Chains A and B, each alone.
Chain A
Amino acid sequence: MSTVKVIEVHESVFSSNDKTAALLREKLSEQKVFMLNVMSSPGSGKTTLLSKAINMLKDEYKIGVMDVDIESSLDAQKVADATGVPSIQIHNGGLCHIDAEMTEKAIEEFEKVLKDDAKSNSIADFDILFLENIGNLVCPAEFDTGAHRSMMILSVPEGDDKPLKYPLMFSVCDLVVISKTDTMKFFDFNEKRAIENIKRLNPKADILFVSAKTGEGMNEFCEWIRANSTNPRNICKCE
């Protein structure tokens, strides 16, 4: 006779990641490092926008950049060339996202590189750490990286319907930056509709219209980073 032995698990697949993320966030808070997770689709202008913002902020804050991609070190190099702040390229082995464990390892790797270059001994020397996530609107939204805040970039050419197609990404972000606003006249992008679509999913999200090219909205973006990075100790992810 065939009998069945059943072992009840009842555990979320994300629970171990959530725990790791919470610990990492706590550790960074103790070190007074504010980590911002930056997500978007490929080609939305993450690297350009970040480089511009970093140049506006780097006199006030010590900034580091961790750039995650499947291949190449183009982005980290681009940021380093454009801003002069320390950056590291992380390859995540072809996966579609990074999780808290990978972020932890990336930070360790970054510390090693900084030591070798005699630039710093610890990640704690930074005030702000940017985590440039994989260009993808689906998977990164599922995984808490341990960052204090998450933001995403929606570029005008992608269209105002993206919140409807990738709801989770828009739901988990504290800030949605609508970028490349200088291209607005070439595309059928309705600002009001975009805001409505985002607010319907995520009423608490901040929304900024920015063009890294013309500088429109850059001051507001930097102001958002300043306001959110103040005292990471007091930042709590729970609502």
Chain B
Amino acid sequence: MHELGVTFYVVRDVKKVAEENGIDRIDFVTLEIGEVSGVINEQLTDCWNWARKKEKVTENTELIIENLEAVSFCECCQREFGTIDYGKTCPYCGGGNTYLLRGNEFNIKEIGVYDNT
């Protein structure tokens, strides 16, 4: 359910990029999705395959997903650790003053068009 909401944002954003670049069809779009972004690849792809048909420019656009690892940083001991394994508590010093460095991404990396000439 959540994936469907964000899928519409992707359709809207890539449509805008296509318009700005004078493109009338997009062949693929690459997304960067962090491990803790809360988005599941399979569900996003299902939503995409349904939602892409709503716009002419995306109706045949293939979705490519690149997953990014989640990493947090501890303010107390200045070390990095895997967010998936340890959450918000530092495994080295037990401190809670940590923040996410990366892993919450939901980015449109690029769009592509095949030129079959």
Q: Chain A residues in contact with chain B, CB under 8 A?
A: 1-14, 16-17, 95-97, 138-139, 141-142, 167-168, 171, 199-203, 239
Contact = CB atoms under 8 A, between A and B. Distances in A.
Contact of B116 (A2, A7, A17, A199): A2
A200 B97 CA distance: 10
Interface of B: 1-2, 4-6, 9-10, 13-14, 17, 21, 23, 27, 31, 36, 38, 87-89, 96-97, 99, 105-117
Contacts of B113: 4-5, 7
Contacts of B14: 9
Given A96-B4, A203-B97, A9 B108 contact: yes
Nearest to A97: B5
A5 B18 CA distance: 12
B54 to A, nearest CB: 14
Given A142-B2, A142-B6, A200-B88, A4 B96 contact: no
Given A7-B111, A203-B97, A139 B5 contact: yes
A141 to B, nearest CB: 8
A203 B98 CA distance: 9
24 contacts: A1-B117, A2-B116, A3-B115, A5-B112, A6-B111, A7-B110, A7-B111, A9-B17, A9-B108, A9-B109, A9-B110, A10-B107, A12-B105, A12-B107, A13-B6, A13-B108, A14-B9, A96-B2, A138-B1, A141-B38, A142-B2, A142-B6, A168-B36, A201-B87
The DSSP consensus for interface residues of chain A is mixed
Given A4-B114, A199-B96, A10 B2 contact: no
A138 B6 CA distance: 12
A200 B89 contact: yes
A138 B38 contact: yes
Given A7-B21, A13-B107, A96-B1, A2 B114 contact: yes
Contacts of A168: 36, 38
Contacts, number: 93
A42 B96 CA distance: 31
A11 B5 contact: no
Given A12-B106, A14-B9, A16-B13, 8 more contacts: A6-B110, A6-B111, A11-B13, A13-B108, A96-B2, A138-B38, A168-B38, A200-B88
Contacts of A5: 112-115
A1 B115 CA distance: 8
A2 B112 CA distance: 12
Contacts of A199: 96
A102 to B, nearest CB: 11
A96 B117 CA distance: 43
Task: List the 5 closest pairs (A to B, CB-CB), nearest first.
Answer: A203-B96, A9-B108, A139-B2, A6-B112, A5-B113
Q: Which of B9, B17, B27, B99 has the most CB of A within 10 A?
A: B9
B114 to A, nearest CB: 5
